[in-house]
Structure 1
């Protein structure tokens, strides 16, 4: 799907579908989502730019993701998407920027793109120049990543508090197991999201560094300040994502430690029960022997005495364990 953005008489002109070359030339931003061959050809013929294929976008070497052809810059990075519905992933998005237009090629829709498209409709000044569109879009992506990191940080705090509270207080085993399981799931999600967010931030860092080093004419002087602001924001988010990763690792170790303690307590209970039942089992085995002459078999109180001996032989080990502090 092709969506073009242009400013006409101070208003945003937004059009969907393949347009004639004359209209594409006047577009400031051309957004290609799952582009068809016809859409790619129309953009290439109108702007005289080579649109990278999906296979080329997935290449990981830096020279294939960040390069320059004449006055146009080709910038590709992985971006996080799908966090809202829990089916998150990373998708490569290419930004082709020239003096006249910005072309974005993507095969998924991060929420930042949808939010920025709505902002453009309210504020057409955002689509004044191609470099302004790209930098303000980066700004929206950074804001979105900040919101995601804040949210998963809060989720991690709630999950860890619930698991530690259950470990400290006397709650039902089912509730404690549920809290610990939820904490493990949340910590796993935190690790996955922060890793993908770090990948996005790394891609943005490389793009901003490449644009600054190239000193390309496609980036106007008035937008250089915005690049510096973006670099500072990206660095701060990288630090925060690293902090969340370290915190998640610590909490994961703590939760696994709690689970080990619970398992050790269960194993200890079974061990004590086994040891306590060994003497009664021995006594019962002795009196289960079929010998003709066993003195106790002729006693009137032999049966109650044997039962009492079994109870005492089971109680004595338990009392001993409690005195040693093993129970």
Structure 2
């Protein structure tokens, strides 16, 4: 899908499909067809990165300059609103007269930014570098919202974990609660890692753009400084939440281990308590001919009494020691 954005007389001109490319300050390609790629390349005068090139992981393949055109690629998180979130590479090709974005998914920041462009086109679409930096600003705002949501999920998981540990619920119910906390922490950890990866990608792009000062107009230099500060603060916040999630994961695993030890301790006490009765039953279960107790009239009840007392002895001893 090909979409063009231009500003004329203070109004936004947005075109799709076969819209004229001349005068466009931003050309957005979503899952472009070969025909759309050739059309844009002919209009802007340079080749666009292919999907295979966008997936390269080398820094030199993701950020480079050809003449006066910057090619910038990074992974961006999308689909957080649903359950099928993932990271997708997006390329930003910044030329003096136009910005071209090539993507195969639609992060929410893009939808929000295009809606903002309809309200204040002159402020956001003044120049290609201004479009790029304002778009990055919208992405950073979106990532901040995601980190806030992750923080709430961690706090909720924290409360659920320790509430389950202190509750008097049955072991099976506790297991279900702790299992739910572990699943939440797993999702939080994955989402935090993907968010941090997006932020690090933005950091590399902004660092590259700072070094290539000629690609950004002087009046937009302050936007880079603001973005660098915001991204750095979000990276630190994401790292802090990673440490918090790791601590909570260790705590939950410790709680599970304690619950398992209690179960094992119960089985151990039962096993030890049944050992003396088993010994008594084994002795009187032997088929020797000369066993005087076999002829006692009260031999059977005495054997039962001996087994009960020998079982109670270890239990009382464990309670006295505080092991029960």
TM-score (norm 1): 0.95
Query: Over residues 85-128 of structure 1, what are the superposed CA-to-partner deviations in whole Å (9 max), with x where a residue is unaligned?
Result: 12221111100111211100011111111111111122222222
Equivalent in the alignment of 1:98: 95
1:81 and 1:256 mapped to 2: Cα distance?
30
Taking the TM superposition and a 5 Å limit, the aligned residue runs for 1:296-315 are: 296-315=293-312
Q: Give the one of 186, 191, 194 matched to 2:192.
A: 194
In the TM superposition, residue 297 of structure 1 has moved relative to its aligned partner by 2.3
Runs of 4 or more above 3 Å deviation? none
1:169 and 1:186 mapped to 2: Cα distance?
20
1:246 and 1:303 mapped to 2: Cα distance?
64
Q: Does structure 2 conserve the Cα–Cα contact (< 8 Å) formed by 1:156 and 1:183? A: no
Query: Over residues 175-194 of structure 1, what are the superposed CA-to-partner deviations in whole Å (9 max), with x where a residue is unaligned?
Result: 31122112211221222112
1:57 and 1:161 mapped to 2: Cα distance?
42
Query: Are residues 1:11 and 2:11 paired?
Result: yes
Query: Over residues 255-309 of structure 1, what are the superposed CA-to-partner deviations in whole Å (9 max), with x where a residue is unaligned?
Result: 1111111111111111111111111111111222223332222222222111111
Equivalent in the alignment of 2:142: 144
- Larger displacement relative to structure 2 (54-63 or 308-317): 54-63
2:171 and 2:268 mapped to 1: Cα distance?
20
Equivalent in the alignment of 2:160: 162
In the TM superposition, residue 316 of structure 1 has moved relative to its aligned partner by 0.2
Q: Give the one of 224, 229, 243 matched to 1:227.
A: 224
2:312 and 2:99 mapped to 1: Cα distance?
83
Query: Are residues 1:320 and 2:314 paired?
Result: no
In the TM superposition, residue 14 of structure 1 has moved relative to its aligned partner by 1.5
Equivalent in the alignment of 1:88: 85
2:248 and 2:163 mapped to 1: Cα distance?
14
Q: Does structure 2 conserve the Cα–Cα contact (< 8 Å) formed by 1:27 and 1:101? A: yes
1:12 and 1:66 mapped to 2: Cα distance?
30
1:243 and 1:232 mapped to 2: Cα distance?
17
2:216 and 2:74 mapped to 1: Cα distance?
19
TM-score (norm 2): 0.96
For 1:95, what is the secondary structure of its paired residue? strand
In the TM superposition, residue 78 of structure 1 has moved relative to its aligned partner by 0.9
Gap runs ≥5 in structure 1: none
Q: CA RMSD in A?
A: 1.3
1:130 and 1:63 mapped to 2: Cα distance?
23
